[in-house]
Amino acid sequence: MVWETILPSPSPSKSLLYVMAKENLIFVSGKEWLHAISSLDGMIAWSKYFHLESLQIQQNDQHSERNIIYAAGFSGLSEVELYELSGKTGEVLKKRITSYSGIFFQGTLLVHNDVLVTLDSTRSKIVLVNFQGEVASFHQTYVSDLVHDFSGEASFLSSKFADMFVLKLDSCKALVKVKSGRTVSLIERMEHPDSVSDAILLPEGKKAFAIVQNKETGIHITVTMDGELINEVLRERIELDDNRGRVQKVFINSYIRTDRSYGFRSLLVMEDHSLLLVQQGEIVWNREDGLASIIDSLASELPVEKGATVAKVEHNLFEWLQGHLLKLKGTLMIASPDDIAAIQVMRLKNSEKNKMTRDHNGFRKLLIVLTKAGKVLALHTGDGRVVWSVLVSSLHGTKTCQNPTWLNIYQWQVPHHHALDENPSVLVVGRCGQSLDSPGILSIFDSYTGKELSSSHVSHSIAQVMPLPLTDSKEQHLHVILDSNNNAYLYPRTRDALKLFHHELSNVFWYSIDSTEGIIRGHSLNHNCIHNEADEYCFGTRTLWSIVFPSDSEKIIATTTRKLNEVVHTQAKVVDQDVIYKYISNNALFIATASPEAVGEIGTAIPEEARLVVYLIDAVTGRVMHRLIHHGSQGPIHAIFSENWVVYHYFNLRAHRYEMSVMEIYDQSRVDNKDVLKLVLGKHNLTSPISAYSSPEVLVKSQSYFFTHSVKVMAVTSTAKGITSKHLLIGTIGDQMLALDKRFLDPRRTPTPSPAEKEEGMIPLTDSLPIIPQSYATHSLQVEGLRNIITVPAKLESTTLVFGYGIDLFFTRIAPSRTYDSLTEDFNYALLLITIVALIAAIIVTWVLTEQKDLRDKWR
């Protein structure tokens, strides 16, 4: 990045920017502000404040000598002002003001040099304000004169057209041209999803623009030149699969063909946010830019290798031997340049990594991601290629459900023991429209092929999805979906699932967090569904408990729980040959609140009024297990909960540094299980199921450390059996991923550890956590705009797969305690094999020789 500038104006700026090439200036208009920024170093050259509604700016034609910026806006209900500004200095050259007999619609205004285009308050009349003469003149045109079936209200689509504009109507869009500042005429009528590009300037002063139409037969691109006459110069048709949806935006660019005529390239922005470059009716390249806005992701196993045929095996064996021979040559330094090239090609191809089947170590997986545009993509972990992709929105965009939004993605079916002939599948949850009450959509996709297995538009809304730790006989995960009226619905809707759920009904609880009111409520589920008595899969909820945080002193800023699928190997922790028991509960909830003064950005609160309070709450009973206050500290808090510990990151205002704290929770009610004889004989209750209502006493140990970086996101490694020690993965502000050993965050650390503690591997206490440059999981790479990190256990216990996403995607695998259970990838198996073969041969030869010698001796 060369530079980044934050504008001082409080309101967000418009997305359209104007660039003045001669002065190297970029113009940004906000609500009432106009800023000119140097494109060389990002310095603000000048800023100007206008006391105007809906400020619009326009640059004059680029090839004229004067660098003039036009700025216009409404200064009253029927008054409009136009400023001519010097682009270089921001000095006002001319100011024009006029008032109209009617009332303007204050929302939209377009500027074309000294002609303003606007709508009157009924939004059915286009008003041209012409400042060309001494006295401003008004010209009015009814929209119904242009588009005959017009009804309702018109609006402008913002664009950088010179003397044309796009009128957005209820039924269609209309491309309209202003002629000599007085009259308007319709150029093209378009259907709704169609779009128009901005005009580009050709050297002869002509302008060109493109219209893209989505039709049954494909995408039609029409480029039109607009000079003295309007004439069509290019008409192209491209065919696309359904997975990209419709064209949303188009940009064009011109080049000169060999016959000196103009050719045009068009860049299409599709509904799934992918980019296509089209030239001469061909897609030159495409990019899945929708991957920059991933909502959520999960990992799926690849299919098991089906019985390979004999011929294939032989072929593979031969190749395998050849490959290893080449490798051996390489290691023994006797490879010819050709061989080295062959080795390189083999390494590049390295088909092992990119195979579409499950591997022994569980390194190859599919990452299934849901993007904001409503597209589900499966990425291969080997090289990040897209294995399949489905635009869910296009499958569900019907008349009744026009703008579906997609909320999250869940594991639906993971065949493990039963139903092995079925493919795993994922559940995508969405809703029709933006509001919390809009009806939901559930869609299930096959993880291997991306085929939609089933989908349903449900009548209830979707406020929360609660995956249960239960699976039915087909290994479908049970999900409870809560609607905005606190009714619970069970999915999948099968008898089997219902039976299972009825059995567990009294043990399933649900909590909701209301951060605006500062209330956490715990609910139980019961049979009577208020709205829908007949629906067996609908359940009512009843509030059991609630925790109310006083709104004048505490505001909820962060919560976290353990991951549902986290595996913990042991419940005991050995301390000097003594044993303490971890408090491991899926129902523990970590909540952090801040004083209202300290909710804002760092530096807005003084240490005396800022404080953080962290709570550990049992989500079944609502019991507050632990409460801790950090005075003089403020958020943002990033917290991670794993096994029996929570690590959180916040800012200490007194020390002016970031801090990280660790809380380890131990179960005091099990401490008495110390009799070895009883343990040997199995006379203990350590493995019997425990209930939250037994209210076990907990002991919380905590410690805090300074930490240099500010943090964007935190995650923790997870392994298949939970034996390997853990690393925290910290997404730093520099968009890197730092792996920090959990041993640094151990509340038992002391400045002078005893020999026994040293032997255990305890690190002496220091006031700050060290940042070891070698422990960046991203090495020198940056994951631009890092938003989240997910960790997936590999089948190999030592290894965790790490997927970080933001604008960029990053995947790696890390081994927190080194790869103690596997040989390195470049281990020379061939050499080992050859050594073994040679040794066996030597044994046979010497055995034969001794036999012969013995025989000879006996004959002698």
Interface residues toward another protein, by CB under 8 A: 407-408, 431, 436, 462-464, 466-469, 480, 482, 484, 504, 507-513, 515, 522, 559, 561, 564, 568-572, 574, 577-579, 581-582, 584-587, 619-620, 673-676, 679-680, 684, 686-693
Q: Pick the closer one to another protein by CB: 349 or 674.
A: 674
Shortest separation between residue 582's beta carbon and another protein, angstroms: 7
Phi/psi of residue 145, each to 5°? -75, -30
Q: Pick the closer one to another protein by CB: 383 or 675.
A: 675
CA torsion, ordered 780, 782, 783, 785, to nearest 10 deg:
160
Q: Pick the closer one to another protein by CB: 15 or 688.
A: 688
- Residue identified by tokens 């040679």 is 838
Question: How far is the C-alpha of 472 from the C-alpha of 453, rounded, in Å?
Answer: 18
Question: How far is the C-alpha of 522 from the C-alpha of 489, rounded, in Å?
Answer: 17
CB 71 within 8 A of CB 34: yes
Q: Pick the closer one to another protein by CB: 125 or 562.
A: 562
Question: How far is the C-alpha of 199 from the C-alpha of 163, rounded, in Å?
Answer: 10
Q: Pick the closer one to another protein by CB: 679 or 823.
A: 679
Pairing of strands 711-716, 115-120: unpaired
CB 824 within 8 A of CB 844: no
Q: Pick the closer one to another protein by CB: 103 or 679.
A: 679
Shortest separation between residue 8's beta carbon and another protein, angstroms: 29
Q: Pick the closer one to another protein by CB: 7 or 690.
A: 690
Pairing of strands 538-548, 44-49: unpaired
Shortest separation between residue 76's beta carbon and another protein, angstroms: 38
Shortest separation between residue 572's beta carbon and another protein, angstroms: 4
Please report, for residues 84, 438, 456, the alpha-carbon distance to residue 435 in angstroms, rounded to integers and kept in the order given. 43, 6, 19
Buried b (16+ CB within 10 A) or exposed e, 491-503: bbebeebbebbee
Q: Pick the closer one to another protein by CB: 499 or 657.
A: 499
Q: Pick the closer one to another protein by CB: 168 or 787.
A: 787
Question: How far is the C-alpha of 659 from the C-alpha of 706, rounded, in Å?
Answer: 4
Shortest separation between residue 514's beta carbon and another protein, angstroms: 8
Shortest separation between residue 587's beta carbon and another protein, angstroms: 4
Shortest separation between residue 745's beta carbon and another protein, angstroms: 21
Amino acid at 316: N
> What is the Cα 748 distance to its own chain's centre?
36
- Residue identified by tokens 């202003």 is 178
Q: Pick the closer one to another protein by CB: 338 or 578.
A: 578
Question: How far is the C-alpha of 241 from the C-alpha of 84, rounded, in Å?
Answer: 48
Shortest separation between residue 719's beta carbon and another protein, angstroms: 15
Question: How far is the C-alpha of 189 from the C-alpha of 194, rounded, in Å?
Answer: 10
Residue closest to 468 by CA, chosen among 481, 449, 485, 458: 481
Residue closest to 197 by CA, chosen among 185, 215, 181, 213: 213
Q: Pick the closer one to another protein by CB: 469 or 600.
A: 469
Question: How far is the C-alpha of 116 from the C-alpha of 102, rounded, in Å?
Answer: 15
Shortest separation between residue 543's beta carbon and another protein, angstroms: 12
Shortest separation between residue 177's beta carbon and another protein, angstroms: 43
Question: How far is the C-alpha of 49 from the C-alpha of 32, rounded, in Å?
Answer: 6
Shortest separation between residue 525's beta carbon and another protein, angstroms: 11
Residue closest to 232 by CA, chosen among 220, 223, 243: 223
Q: Pick the closer one to another protein by CB: 478 or 740.
A: 478
Please report, for residues 21, 32, 42, 83, 687, the alpha-carbon distance to residue 13 in angstroms, rounded to integers and kept in the order given. 21, 9, 16, 19, 60
Shortest separation between residue 491's beta carbon and another protein, angstroms: 14
Buried b (16+ CB within 10 A) or exposed e, 782-798: bbeebbbbbbbbbebbb
